Structure 1
Amino acid sequence: YKKLRGDEPATTDIGTRYELTLTKKSGSWELASIKSQNTGPVAVNEPLAAKANVVKDDGNQYPQGTPAATKYPAPSKPKVKTGGAYDYAAMAKYAEKYWSSYNPAYRKFNGAGGDCTNFVSQALKAGGWKNAPGTTSDYRNWWYDGAQQTDSWVGANEWSWFTLSNERATNLANVYQADVGDIVQVDFNKDGSKDHSMIVTYRSGAGMPYVTYHSTNTYRKSLASLVASYPDAVYYAYRT
């Protein structure tokens, strides 16, 4: 990527898989077809409790949030990073410390649907988010202990329901407005269910957010490269 201001990270990454079909013609090989094998990052963590609809209906609809635009550049929406309730630098520092070497104080959910939202919750906790006690299946609660955790701690949809209903964050109109400590979620197949959660750990002087996440473990991926890889997905951005 061309450096616009000079303060962007030295590297970023984008990964993709293709199936190539080659045909031998006149003693040489020619490319006959190319087909993408990508279905999105392995990042979904949807607790069984949510899928079974065991959460009692409280008479209110789950707050789904508002999809964010993906047009770059985005309208200015500056974020006040100091003097508030949360330490956004601590969130980013935590995420960039444990993006590949997992914190042993927490369980990993890679084999149980994905670790992305668990990782985001850890970073938010490191930056000052407080527990919301209660039963594990009620999306209005949010906590983790050594034996169990709420669905909202590990589930992408439940996290968004908790966050919006408890006013821990607000929706951003455009993903490129996201700043350090903000969260981006993706619905890859546009079925109304959020599949992936990421935290912004860096924003360049040109206004490009870089996201860090688990499942697959990724450090400072430019949001532009993610949107380019999945242009038909639905994106959500949250100002924490």
Structure 2
Amino acid sequence: MLAEFPYNRENAFEYAKIWAFQRNPAFINFDKMGGDCTNFASQCIYAGCKVMNYTPVFGWYYKSSSDRTPSWSGVQYLYNFLTTNKGTGPYAEVSDTDNLEIGDILQLGDELEHFYHSPVVVGKTDEDIFVAAHTYDSYMRPLSSYIYKKIRCLHILGYRKHVPD
């Protein structure tokens, strides 16, 4: 039976805090292969749910550099997975900045809606949102310091996993 669970935002936050300026050796570093931001975002999400979706091609998992889904490290693919996932693993809805919480994901894009960066929300005030990210490593970086034309907010609603009947 597939059951739903709350996303552990504190675990996602703690992971981001620990690994924002270093690389977890359990995962390949994509810095020289197009950027590590979505790989880092996936690691943070995984810290908040501890469940992967092992569906080939369209799931969301990382076993090794040669055995992973595009959604683990690709900006658009992560968006596609999180917003359409009806199975095992995390799922999200597109939201606005007012509804963002720690552990949620932002995606920054250009005027043509090509999204290219996936920072993780690690703080929020009335004045700004603060993020952690890889590629251009940062922690508690104000969203207002980024230059972008479009933004997508992915509010993680929870995750699903199989439990015995």
TM over 0.5: yes
Q: Which residue of 2 aligns with 1:169?
A: 92
TM-score, scaled relative to structure 2? 0.82
Q: Which residue of 2 aligns with 1:203?
A: 124
Q: Which residue of 2 aligns with 1:145?
A: 63
Cα pair 1:176 1:208 within 8 Å, conserved? no
Aligned length: 147
Equivalent-residue separation in structure 1 for 2:54 and 2:112 (angstroms): 30
Q: Equivalent of 2:140, from 197, 202, 220? A: 220
Q: Any idea what SS the aligned residue of 1:145 has?
A: strand
Structure 2 residues not aligned, in runs of 5+: 157-165
Q: Which residue of 1 aligns with 2:161?
A: none
Does residue 101 of structure 1 match 2:22? yes
The Cα shift of 1:239 comes to 0.8
Equivalent-residue separation in structure 2 for 1:203 and 1:234 (angstroms): 19
Equivalent-residue separation in structure 2 for 1:225 and 1:191 (angstroms): 21
Q: Any idea what SS the aligned residue of 2:72 has?
A: helix
The Cα shift of 1:190 comes to 2.2
Larger C-alpha radius of gyration, 1 or 2?
1
Greater strand percent: which structure? 2
Provide runs of 4+ in structure 1 moved above 3 Å.
none
Q: Which residue of 1 aligns with 2:74?
A: 155
Cα pair 1:186 1:235 within 8 Å, conserved? yes
Cα pair 1:176 1:209 within 8 Å, conserved? no
Structure 1 residues not aligned, in runs of 5+: 1-83
Equivalent-residue separation in structure 1 for 2:78 and 2:9 (angstroms): 18
Q: Any idea what SS the aligned residue of 1:125 has?
A: helix
The Cα shift of 1:130 comes to 1.8
Equivalent-residue separation in structure 2 for 1:165 and 1:183 (angstroms): 15
Q: Any idea what SS the aligned residue of 1:133 has?
A: coil
Does residue 186 of structure 1 match 2:105? no
Q: Any idea what SS the aligned residue of 2:10 has?
A: helix
